[in-house]
Amino acid sequence: MYLIVGLGNPGREYEGTRHNIGYDVLGMLAAQEQISILEKKHRAVIGKGVVAGEKCILARPVTYMNLSGESVREMIAYYKLDPSSDLIVISDDISLDVGRIRIRKKGSAGGHNGLKNIIANLGSDVFMRVKMGVGEKPPGWDLADYVLGRFSSPERKMMEEGAERAVDAIRMMIAQGADTAMNHFN
């Protein structure tokens, strides 16, 4: 069984922001796989279903980004999962161009507070992740203002295309392994 976690912040004021692209990709995957994400459990909103022939739990932590690891840790413990092989985290990444994706099997948080909290709560940086490029912060901008901002219309189109690639990548990660997906999508 896989736990697929889309990172973001709960609440309407955060919908459509750069920081919530993890929520958006998870929502696209859920819609395509006809999985309802409605059950409130483990400080997250979750849905259960099948992706690429495997049982999966799709989760959106509602702890706010900076405490995402608390929710992830609860789910890992409750479902008795191995984070190194059963966890996929979807997050935004300002070091990638808008719409680009990058798959990793381990690594540092790269300054991302949600990933940093997951690493701290799991005690390990070995878990699969799909990083969604949201573009570099413009000079003079505050980082929080940038990631909590919304995409322009042209950026939104690139993000939708990137989200489609990310959904395909997640399916490939499950069906054929992270290495195959990395070779294909990175």
pLDDT tens, 133-179?
Answer: 999 999 999 999 999 999 999 999 999 999 999 999 999 999 999 99
pTM comes to: 0.97
Beta bridge partners of 92: 132
Average pLDDT over residues 8-37: 97
Token pair 């929080």 is at which residue? 144
Residues noted as catalytic = 19
- Separation between Cα atoms, residue 79 and residue 57, nearest integer Å: 10
pLDDT tens sequence across 102-127:
999 999 999 999 999 999 999 999 99
Q: Which residue type occupies 183? A: N
Encoded amino acid at 112, one letter: H
Pair type for strands 2-6 and 87-93: parallel
